[in-house]
Structure formats: C-alpha cells, structure tokens
Amino acid sequence: MTRRINATAGTNLGGASAHNRRVVFDALRLNGSLSRAEIARATQLTPQTVSNIIDQFVETGLVSADAPIRGGRGQPATPYRIVASGAYSLGIHIDRHQILGIGADLSGRTLSRHRHRLPKGGAKKGFAILLDLVAAIRRDIDLAAPPGAPRLLGLGVAMPGPFGVWSDPQHPPADTLIDPWVMREWHEFPLIERLTTETGLEAVLQNDAGAAAMAEKMYGTASGLDHFVHLYIGYGLGAGLIIQGEIYAGTAGNAGEIGQLPAAGSEDRESEGSRTLEHYVSVLSACRALDLDPGAANLFPKLEALLAVGDPRLDAWTVQAGRHLRQAIQIVEALFDPQTVVVGGQLPPGLLLAITRHVEPLLSSVSHRPGRSLPRLTVGTADLWVVAQGAAMEPISRTFDPQFRALLKSA
C-alpha cells in the first residue's frame, strides 16, 4: 500500500509557459491594446518571451495587430488587441423557477440570450429543457461567428447553494424563509457529467454569488481588482469571494453563504424566532413584504412599478434591507479586508440603489481607514442576467486568467 504524502504539486517549463501566456492575455484584456514593449514592461517578461506569445496568439486568431503608431525615433510601435470573435463561451443560470442562458465572446459581449420557465420536478423534467437551451445558444453563436467552426471554450453553470449539505426534513432550520431543499433535486443530479457528455463541452459548476462576482471581475465594476467581495442579492443572499485575483469557492463550493448568518438583533439561532440575514436582504423577503409571487415571470416589472409609485411597503423593506446589508458589509470587511465590497444582484437597478442609500453610514470596521483609493462600498450590476453572464465568463477565466493552479503540473 502506497503511503499518502502531503505536498503541493510543482511546475515545469510547460506550466510556466502557460502562466506567461495567461499573464499576457490578461494584460491585453485589462488595457484594451498594448505594444510588445508595453506588455514586456508591465508583465516583467523578456521582450523575446512576449514576442513569442504574441506571435502564437496572432497565429491562432486570438489577437490581432492595430495600425502602427509612430511616437518619435525608431520603428513605430504596433499595438495588439484581443479579437473578440477569437473564442466563445456559454453560461447557464439554473434558478428555482427558470433557466437563463447566455452566449458571449472574448470581449464579454452577449451574443445570445435564452430563458425558459422550469416545471416542478427538478432536473428529471428540467434537464431536457436545459439541453434545448444550450442548443439554441450554440445555433445563435454559429450565426454570429465568422465563417468556420467557432472555438467554444466551455460551459459555465451556476445555481444557488449550498451544495451537498445534509439536512433533516423533520427538523428544518428555525428561519424557514429560504427553503433549503428547493434546489436539492438539481444538486443531487449528475448535472456536470451529463452536460459534458451530452454537449461535448467541458462544464464547471459554481454557486450563483460566485458567478456574479466573476461577472464584476471580468468586465464589471471590479475589473482590475484582485481582492473584493461581491454581496449578491438574489432569491437569498450570498457572497462571491475574489482573493488574490481568483474566485474562492471553499472545500465543497459553499464559501460565501453569508445569508445564513444570524441577523443583528435576532434571537439565538436555536430559538423559534431566530432570523438570518437573508430573511431581510433577499428578493424572496421583498416578495413576502409585498405579497408577490417570487416565481412570477413578470416579477421584475412589478417591482419596478411599485418602486416608481413609491409603495410604502417597498420603502419600508429597502430601509430594513439596507440596515442588515450594513451588517453584512462589516462582517466581510472583518474577514477578508477587501479593496471594496461590491453589492449587486438579480433585482431591478433602481431597487438596488434604493437599498444601498440606506446602507450609509457604514459601520466601523478594519476597512475604515484614511488614504483609501477605493470606496468601501461599490454599487455593482443589478440585472436579471448577471449570474448567467458570470457563468459565461467562467470558461474564459478558466482558459486565460492568471491562476495559481495553472502553474501546477497536475492542472
């Protein structure tokens, strides 16, 4: 029997080369266009290494040259930029009542959107609908892409967590605002294996808050940031964690389930009347305050209409949600010391602004210090499609973002 030895995998020349390619691609993504000399200075790679990588990218259609720019003596500098149509990715958001799918190019531009209602019965009834949606997105990409088979990087899938958590249905949590078993049939279905087999695309699963954080990191308000927390207001409340430029998912993909923490002023969690943060800060809590069906197809327009007329019930909810969101921000600042906390979600933009107005003034924390270059609170994206967009960014990030695991021989 072979003894188990704990160690971190090393790297080799191939791992280092892969990392260097990601570094160069990321520099172009963040800056739009750069010359070879500018890339070498920014990445601290040798000019020869940069030239070799750029030549590879140009040859494979991922990067193209702009017109040379003459800036003085010597040869004019040629800027290079990413070719948006060089590759495509797919993103799927499986929610409690619907599936949303997006096809995107390397610039993050959405080329296709499809949305289907989900019948009751979980994946056994919904998987065929999911496959039809993926097929429709691929047809749209085929039409939008230049002649020739488009390069598909993969399929990102996001859904609410927590994943793999055992709970006794006979003894549910005291705070039953968020049904912990509503997604269980999807969680227990071999979703990723089936998707990979049926579509031929490499599929990766993450929670919805992590996908929303990826959307903000790649092309949103947190572009260029390496340390931030995204508080995602959806059916519940979750936190997407970007640490040292990478999404942190935890051991079982459940990192960031902040909505399950006790809310300030609630009773002991074991007591009958305890309340968690997502009891106050979630789309479901807003629907309950307004007597709306959270599964209604026209929920967004209804919320926007109530906001427009100044419905007092909605006003009261935004005040309460802002107060408890203030607590959530203090918690994540104490735990992660982020550059900023981004707040967004699957809700109308006006409603997000109404909530964040009631967050100020923020509670004192380790992030309350002079000389900050960024505000402690950043208002992010509020949109029905934000999680699907982030899921579509996952294959792009997996392929091109600088990541520690890309260095490992085992990657």
Average pLDDT score, the chain:
89
Q: What span, in angstroms and rounded, lies between the C-alpha atoms of 337 and 339?
A: 7
* Element housing 349 (H / E): helix 349-357
Q: What's the gap between Cα 209 and its chain centre? A: 6
Cβ-Cβ contacts under 8 Å for 240 (sequence gap 6 or more): 207, 209, 210, 211, 212, 213, 214, 216, 229, 230, 232, 247, 256
pLDDT value at position 10?
55
Does the pLDDT of residue 4 top 70, yes or no?
no
Q: What span, in angstroms and rounded, lies between the C-alpha atoms of 28 and 34?
A: 6
* Element housing 64 (H / E): strand 63-65
CA distances to 14, 92, 160, 176 from 164, rounded to whole Å, are 35, 20, 12, 19
Mean pLDDT of the region 168-179:
52
Q: What span, in angstroms and rounded, lies between the C-alpha atoms of 196 and 124?
A: 17
Domains annotated on the chain, with CATH: 13-82 (1.10.10.10), 88-400 (3.30.420.40)
pLDDT value at position 268?
47
Give the rounded percent of residues in the chain with a pLDDT score beyond 90: 73
pLDDT 10s digits, 348-363:
999 999 999 999 999 9
| DSSP three-state, residue 242 | strand
Cβ-Cβ contacts under 8 Å for 260 (sequence gap 6 or more): 162, 276, 277, 278
CB 240 within 8 A of CB 229: yes
pLDDT value at position 271?
45
pLDDT value at position 273?
47
First to last CA, the chain: 25
The DSSP string of 91-103 is EEEE-SSEEEEEE
Q: What span, in angstroms and rounded, lies between the C-alpha atoms of 97 and 156?
A: 19
Mean pLDDT of the region 225-239:
96
Hey, what are 63's tokens?
A: 């990067």
Hey, what are 352's tokens?
A: 């997000």
Mean pLDDT of the region 302-318:
96
Does the pLDDT of residue 267 top 60, yes or no?
no
CB 216 within 8 A of CB 124: no
Which residue in this structure is represented by tokens 């704990």?
6
pTM, two decimal places = 0.89
Mean pLDDT of the region 11-24:
78
pLDDT 10s digits, 380-401:
999 999 999 999 999 999 998 8
pLDDT value at position 77?
87
pLDDT value at position 193?
97
